[in-house]
Amino acid sequence: MTSHEYDADVVIVGAGPGGATAAYWLAQAGLSVIACEKTKFPREKVCGDGLTPRAVKQLVAMGIDTSREAGWLANHGLRIMGGGMRLEMPWPDLAAYPSYGLVRQRQDFDEMLARTAQKAGAQIHELTTVTEPIRDERTGRVEGVTTKDGRTFRAPVTLVADGNSTRFSLALNRQRREDRPLGVAYRRYYKTPRHDDDWLESWLELWDGVPGKSALLPGYGWIFGMGDGTSNVGLGILNTSDAFGQTDYRDLLDRWVASLPEEWGFIPENATCPIRGAALPMGFNRKPHYAEGALLVGDAGGMVNPMNGEGITYAMESGRLAADIVAMAMSEPAGPRRERVLEGYPKALNATYGGYYTLGRHFVRAIGHPSVMKLCTRHGLPHPTLMKFCLKLLANLTDPTDGDAMDRIINGLGRLAPAA
């Protein structure tokens, strides 16, 4: 389908989960794809490494083997620690999603997705840093990219999937919205006997010492067993907290980890890497998601779920959605009809996530107040039915059509809320 003036049908900036997923589905649709990735796989990436059933659904759709033999550790659901309680909540039993979550280090995960895209026919150019867009001199439309080493890749459509820093979006003058939530996350791997834990463990209270008898630290924490002798231990904090930007997050993680039981082995001697951190761009904090031939995917478009800080799922889902729309657009001749199809991308994103992300913004504002978080922890955790509802809401796991009463309430709230 590529004309003589273009190098490919689509150029993708970044080959992380969003870019690689888009590349796979575009290649499956018969389009020629070039993805430019500034690093070389395998590469380090700050993440909690936990995947909910929403992300697992995307992996299964791409034909990826998710068995233990293939290096994955499955989990049953979420374990909540807080208010002196420990509550285990299995993933909801839904027709629309698998019944299990997964864990895998991003070092393996990202490369697996990129290689899957390559096998489907996409070109992945590693160690290729994109510096600026190529624009049509008459219309200003983006028609490809220029790289640091002087190469150019031209295409009628460009997908921007270069993560939370998204320098390419800035080159397109798509600025971050200050009225949208932002989080930060810091994590470290430790050798531990807890490495085979088959629950994703979330801590709603971080103590500076003995729980209930020491200072309560800002943020929330997690402990995810990796199944390889280590656990991913980390914390996150939202910009609705007074402590955001005023805190040494590495010191915060050290202090919380020091308060955990000694037999878990979360001590500096058992750490396998330094503490590393990253930003979490949430709730559509960068727009427009489409303009002038360029679509934003995943973190580049601020698509992290504000309810739970989950980014991989929404990178993969938006990558697939973008691929579907671009494939449809490229079946049309260049001109107004193709443009109309591409303009459907932000509308589709809003229809899928807009109301839910608006609910997420209000949720983030509420839990930014320690008194509200304490109230939720103390009085919510003792009620299993309420917590089951919260799990479905926060993990965005509902059946869209044949669900139970909880699903209908959550889906209804998302439809009623104004788009993000």
CATH number at residue 55: 3.50.50.60
Domain-located, residue 163: yes
pLDDT at 3: 52
Between 8-12, 41-45, 76-80, 379-383, the lowest mean confidence (pLDDT) is in: 379-383
pLDDT at 2: 53
Domain-located, residue 116: yes
Q: Which of 82, 309, 283 is CA-nearest to residue 185?
A: 309
Say if residue 374's pLDDT is above 80. no
Q: What is d(CA 1, CA 174) in angstroms, rounded to the nearest whole number? A: 30
Q: What is d(CA 329, CA 61) in angstroms, rounded to the nearest whole number? A: 22
Provide the domain limits for residue 71: 10-75+102-178+284-359
The tokens for 25 are 């589905």
Bigger pLDDT: 27 vs 390: 27
Q: What is d(CA 364, CA 283) in angstroms, rounded to the nearest whole number? A: 10
The DSSP line for 136-152 is -TTT--EEEEEETTS-E
Candidate ranges 118-132, 155-169, 389-403; pick with highest mean pLDDT: 118-132
Q: Which of 120, 148, 116, 136 is CA-nearest to residue 29?
A: 120
Q: What is d(CA 80, CA 385) in angstroms, rounded to the nearest whole number? A: 14
Domain-located, residue 27: yes
Say if residue 1's pLDDT is above 70. no
Count up the domains in the chain and report the number: 1
**Percent of the chain whose pLDDT exceeds 90:** 70
Bigger pLDDT: 419 vs 174: 174
Read off the DSSP letter of residue 351.
I
Domain-located, residue 15: yes
Indicate the average pLDDT of the chain.
Answer: 91
Cis check: omega of the bond before 181, within 30 degrees of 0: no
Contacts for 188 with CB less than 8 Å, ≥ 6 apart: 232, 233, 234, 253, 257, 271, 273, 274, 275, 276
pLDDT at 394: 85
With 0-12 CB in 10 A as exposed, 13-18 as middle and 19+ as buried, what is 8? buried
SS3 93: coil
Domain-located, residue 306: yes
| Average pLDDT estimate for 41-66 | 95
**H-only helix segments in 275-395:** 312-330, 336-342, 344-349, 355-367, 370-380, 384-395
Domain-located, residue 41: yes
| Average pLDDT estimate for 279-307 | 95
Confidence bin at 156 (pLDDT 50/70/90): very high
| Average pLDDT estimate for 4-23 | 93
Q: Which of 227, 225, 214 is CA-nearest to residue 256?
A: 214
Helix (H) or strand (E) holding 260: none
314-373 confidence digits (pLDDT tens): 999 999 999 999 999 999 999 999 999 999 999 999 999 999 999 988 888 887 776 777
Domain-located, residue 350: yes
238-286 confidence digits (pLDDT tens): 888 777 888 888 998 998 999 899 999 999 999 999 999 999 999 999 9
Confidence (pTM): 0.94
First vs last C-alpha separation in the chain: 36
Say if residue 417's pLDDT is above 90. no
Domain-located, residue 406: no
